[in-house]
Structure 1
Amino acid sequence: MLALRIRWSPVAREGAERFFSEACYLMELNHSGEGLVVRTPAKLNLFLDVGKLREDGFHPIDSIFQAVSFYDELEFIPIPGEGIELVEEGIAAGKKNIVYQAAEGLLQEVGGAFPSGVRITLRKSIPCGAGLGGGSSDAAATLIGLRKLFGLQVDPQRLLDLGAQLGSDVPFFFSGGTARCRGRGEIVTPLDDVFEPAGTFHYVLVCPAIEVPTRDVYEAFDQLEANKYMTLTTEAGVDSILRSSIVEALANDELLFNRLETVACGLFAELAEVQGLLAAEGFRGFLMSGSGSTFFGLCDNADDAVSMRDSLKGAVPDGTRVLTAINVPSWSAILES
């Protein structure tokens, strides 16, 4: 597996030790008997541009990630003996589950043994293949939770590296809030200083009952001739707008953009149908998150979000989940809620 060091931009760099220790306490960790329960949120891509395939097999991205109030839950309980026991609710991936892979990776990092065995129960609510980063969020929560549960003496930067090896979205979930993510996702620049003063963002999430394989969407993206020469520049997208004006641009639907949306809708008719439904609903703006399948609409307030949610519930394809969510500006906001 390729080892990547997470690179924090100058704006974000405050020291890996301080950053990780804050993440441990800002993510919602609750003690339950001898164990630990972690609630870990989904994310939306408020902006996503993608460049041509790199020689290392990854695509460069420029994206704004925002954590939102849609959660998976993980419970960590010490058990007699050794090893990792994974109990899954709402998913059945076994040892292929990124939670198990994260725990196994950390186990090997500490020499092949935790102080005891551990039972990890994953209660899955965030759908898979939905562009919401649920698996990546679970992976970060697993690394954070196990380190906290057992008091593991793992260098924080090394833990961040382990997260980056597991998935491109994992680095974001060590901090959450709102951040600009570049590289393949590992260059994380927090934007909470401009988003938190703007208050609450209200969303309606529409999650079709299909999993969209990220690989399929990127392969279709690569097959388009124009994308073979796609280069991310500072003349468009996020860099074309003053940092202090990013929130206003998003709220006015001037920056909501996803390079993969047209590609994904061309592959899956269900996505094109949902796209059309949101276009007719009157949101301030709407977008597909990540490589799909989830779409979200931005609303003026909570009442509008509930009204539009209820309207869409009667129109979406069978099995589609429609729910409201708000932004989670930092892990401390989760603890205070």
Structure 2
Amino acid sequence: MRILEKAPAKINLSLDVLHKRQDGYHEVKMVMTTIDLADRIELKLLDEDRITIVSHNRFVPDDHRNLAYKAALLLKKRFGIKQGVAITISKSIPVAAGLAGGSSDAAATLRGLNKLWNLGLTLDELAVLGAEIGSDVSFCVYGGTAIATGRGEKIEHIEAPPHCWVVLAKPEIGVSTADVYQNLKIDQIKHPDVEGMVQAIKSQDYGSICHKLGNVLESVTMKMHPEVAMIKEQMQKFGADAVLMSGSGPTVYGLVQYESRLHRVYNGLRGFCDQVYAVRMLGERNSLD
């Protein structure tokens, strides 16, 4: 028996950091939504009681460091599962890109193993388990569009933004999220209007969504990696309606409402960056069907 699950990437429409918590994490308030750039997860039962990870991407670990492995191990321990599983990860989402690729793989593994092992868990129960694996996993269990608070694990669903195109460009660098947060000066933050973004989405006001985009980590990453700023500048120059870095970076995305402009932005960026994608915004929640 095998189960196939789609693991979509996310982008941050708004990302604010409120303060550093006593547990060492930062208190955040974010608006996230899923996009139609996705990894594919295949889960197959094994005769032996073990977890294997198969990926043809050399940047994806095939051991306990992999978040999908951690998801499978968590379910096995929590529910006393004695069956093994082979997890094949077909990557389309760039690795270490600020797009929650690893978190989405873990979330898809939770959803898929819930079916494969007949656990009968709800999405809410899977999201609680996901919070034990990583901050973005809870959101990725649900997908869709949501306000995320706490360290990112407290999820409040909102409606999907109006449909538009998303052009993403990832420079050939890796960014350490820990390093970005370490260089963040909380007392110097210019906070984005997260509530304004939420209202813009509720009103389906595309222009206001573009105006309210904001990410407090963007300036930190740009200072550490000037190529991120260069890509943002080029994306604006080629005509994207609004441009922002996702997560801790280094991926920069642009929103484009009309397909006629999409090709200009996409083709222009191909001259500056190898990893460029043009996808639609998804924004709709996952289901267990």
Please list the CA deviations of residues 281-335 of structure 1 after superposition, one character each: whole Å capped at 9, or x if unmatched.
2211100000001001111222321221011112x14xx31110111131469x9
Q: How is 1:23-42 mapped onto 2 (pairs within 5 angstroms)?
A: 34-42=1-9
Identity %: 33
1:323 aligns with 277
Please list the CA deviations of residues 87-116 of structure 1 after superposition, one character each: whole Å capped at 9, or x if unmatched.
1221341221111111111111112x33x3
AA at the equivalent of 1:138: D
TM-score by length of 1: 0.78
Please state how far the C-alpha of 1:253 moved relative to its aligned partner. Answer: 2.6
Contact 2:34 2:282 in 1 (8 A): yes
Aligned pair in 2 of structure 1 residues 240, 270: CA closer, same or farther (>3 Å)? closer
Matched, 1:271 2:240: no
Matched, 1:202 2:165: yes
1:105 aligns with 74
What CA distance in whole angstroms lies between the structure 2 residues aligned with 1:179 and 1:242? 9
Q: How is 1:1-337 mapped onto 2 (pairs within 5 angstroms)?
A: 34-90=1-57, 91-95=59-63, 96-111=65-80, 113-114=81-82, 116-154=83-121, 157-192=124-159, 195=161, 198=162, 200-221=163-184, 224=185, 227-228=186-187, 237-240=193-196, 243=199, 247-248=204-205, 251=208, 253-314=210-271, 316-317=272-273, 320-331=274-285
Contact 2:197 2:208 in 1 (8 A): no
Please state how far the C-alpha of 1:36 moved relative to its aligned partner. Answer: 0.9
Contact 1:217 1:264 in 2 (8 A): yes
Contact 2:29 2:148 in 1 (8 A): yes
Please state how far the C-alpha of 1:153 moved relative to its aligned partner. Answer: 4.7
Contact 1:43 1:67 in 2 (8 A): yes
Aligned pair in 2 of structure 1 residues 250, 64: CA closer, same or farther (>3 Å)? farther
Please list the CA deviations of residues 125-159 of structure 1 after superposition, one character each: whole Å capped at 9, or x if unmatched.
21121110111111111111111112025576553
Please state how far the C-alpha of 1:274 moved relative to its aligned partner. Answer: 1.1
1:16 aligns with none
What CA distance in whole angstroms lies between the structure 2 residues aligned with 1:182 and 1:123? 30
What CA distance in whole angstroms lies between the structure 1 residues aligned with 2:131 and 2:197? 29
AA at the equivalent of 2:223: G
- Paired residues, number: 285
Aligned pair in 2 of structure 1 residues 205, 86: CA closer, same or farther (>3 Å)? same
What CA distance in whole angstroms lies between the structure 1 residues aligned with 2:190 and 2:21? 11
Contact 1:238 1:246 in 2 (8 A): no
What CA distance in whole angstroms lies between the structure 2 residues aligned with 1:122 and 1:99? 9
Structure 2 gap segments, 5+ residues each: none
Please state how far the C-alpha of 1:181 moved relative to its aligned partner. Answer: 1.1
TM-score by length of 2: 0.90
What CA distance in whole angstroms lies between the structure 1 residues aligned with 2:199 and 2:209? 15
- Kindly report the root-mean-square deviation, in angstroms, between the aligned alpha carbons of the 2 structures: 2.3
Please state how far the C-alpha of 1:47 moved relative to its aligned partner. Answer: 0.8
Structure 1 gap segments, 5+ residues each: 1-33
What CA distance in whole angstroms lies between the structure 2 residues aligned with 1:128 and 1:109? 28
Aligned pair in 2 of structure 1 residues 240, 88: CA closer, same or farther (>3 Å)? closer
What CA distance in whole angstroms lies between the structure 1 residues aligned with 2:221 and 2:266? 23
AA at the equivalent of 2:144: G
Contact 1:249 1:255 in 2 (8 A): no
AA at the equivalent of 1:327: M
Contact 2:31 2:198 in 1 (8 A): no
Report which of the two structures shows the higher radius of gyration computed on alpha carbons: 1
